[in-house]
Amino acid sequence: ETGVTQSPTHLIKTRGQQVTLRCSSQSGHNTVSWYQQALGQGPQFIFQYYREEENGRGNFPPRFSGLQFPNYSSELNVNALELDDSALYLCASSDGQGGETQYFGPGTRLLVL
């Protein structure tokens, strides 16, 4: 158990819809990173939040957005879903102080039809 939870575990949406994925970090972890993992690929960095501000972004379009809240929870929002958005979405939390480990959640598997 990493202490990081994600919801929902699975989700099916249709093209053009919007989705919100949620992550609850370990208490005290003020950095959360979101990753997209397509089938058979390694995770790709979407963005990172530190103390409720975006602090780094990967090569993802603006329709991928996020929020981080003071209670160590965060959201990933994706608008105008496309078929290629089908993937496993992982969040990882850390203390943001160069600590030893990032703690990953179990992921949300999104299928866009």
Partner 1 sequence: KNEVEQSPQNLTAQEGEFITINCSYSVGISALHWLQQHPGGGIVSLFMLSSGKKKHGRLIATINIQEKHSSLHITASHPRDSAVYICALKGLIVGNEKLTFGTGTRLTIIP
Interface ranges with partner 1 (CB under 8 A):
2, 31, 33, 35, 37, 40-45, 48, 50, 55-56, 58, 88, 90, 92, 94, 96, 98, 100-104, 106-107, 109
CB of 81 to partner 1, least distance (A): 20
**CB-nearer residue toward partner 1: 20 or 55:** 55
CB of 32 to partner 1, least distance (A): 9
For partner 1, the closer CB: 110 or 112: 110
The two beta strands, 108-112 and 10-13, are: parallel
Give least dist CB 25 to partner 1, A: 12
What count of Cα atoms within 13 Å lies in the side-chain half-sphere of residue 93? Answer: 26
- In the complex, minimum distance from the CB of residue 51 to partner 1, in angstroms, rounded to a whole number: 11
